[in-house]
């Protein structure tokens, strides 16, 4: 779902798969439905995040705030599917007049 205010993305990454280079332009709320060890790389292939070194994994059905992310890939290096819902808040949209 996407409109001028939000973009909602349901991402599923099976074990061994890599999501192609992409970006998240806006800050967001990330809801964790399922988690696995993963590695995020920038457009040059440099590791910017490695879940295996990041401490305890997020709990299922938890939510966290995410800043905008520059171009990156995401590789699922674990044994379970990654499943998230990302609600991006388009902070640069013009205010809308409401008639309630």
pLDDT at 48: 97
Largest CA distance in the chain: 50
Contacts of residue 69, Cβ cutoff 8 Å, sequence gap at least 6: 23, 24
Convert the pLDDT of each residue in 22-81 to its tens digit.
999 999 999 999 999 999 999 999 999 999 999 999 998 999 999 999 999 999 999 999
Pairing assessment for the beta strands 38-42 and 69-76 based on DSSP bridges: antiparallel
Q: Could you give all domains of the chain from N- to C-terminal order, each with its CATH number? A: 6-89 (2.60.120.10)
pLDDT at 91: 82
Convert the pLDDT of each residue in 34-45 to its tens digit.
999 999 999 999
Whether residue 94 has pLDDT greater than 90: no
Q: pTM for this structure?
A: 0.85
């Amino acid at each position: 779902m996407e409109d001028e205010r939000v973009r909602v993305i349901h991402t599923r990454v099976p074990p061994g798969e890599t999501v192609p280079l992409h970006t998240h332009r806006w800050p967001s709320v990330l809801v964790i439905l399922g988690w696995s060890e993963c590695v995020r790389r920038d457009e040059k292939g440099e590791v910017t995040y490695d879940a295996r070194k990041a401490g305890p994994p997020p709990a299922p059905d938890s939510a966290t705030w995410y800043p905008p992310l520059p171009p990156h890939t995401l590789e699922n290096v674990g044994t379970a599917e990654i499943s998230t819902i990302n609600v991006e808040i388009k902070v640069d949209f013009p205010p809308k007049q409401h008639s309630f």
